[in-house]
Amino acid sequence: MTKKRVQLVFPKHLVDKPIVWQLGQKFKVVTNIRRANIDAECGWIDLEVEGEADEIEKGLQWLAETGVEVNPIEKQVVE
């Protein structure tokens, strides 16, 4: 099992969609929201994703294709 932390940035048209839930349903990954800030205009989530490396990558690719900006988190801000 692999863990990866990413920051997801949501544009206005995706803020009210259950994207993180869909990620866990479509791919064999476990999600853990570490920090988040969402309002009516935009939002971001620091997300920890755990699973097989290839499944994580498929999920992150799906997020990007959906319109979510996916940025790697280099520093572990919250432990």
Is residue 77 assigned to a domain? Answer: no
Q: Return per-residue pLDDT of the chain as tens, 79 residues.
A: 899 999 999 999 999 999 999 999 999 999 999 999 999 889 999 999 999 999 999 999 999 999 999 999 976 555 5
Is residue 7 assigned to a domain? Answer: yes
Q: What's the CATH number where 15 sits?
A: 3.30.70.260
Is residue 78 assigned to a domain? Answer: no
Is residue 44 assigned to a domain? Answer: yes
What pLDDT does 40 receive?
85
What pLDDT does 41 receive?
87
Q: How many CB atoms lie within 10 A of CB 49?
A: 24
Query: At a CB cut-off of 8 Å and minimum separation 6, what does 35 contact?
Result: 45, 46, 77, 78
Total domain count for the chain? 1
22 lies in which domain range?
2-72
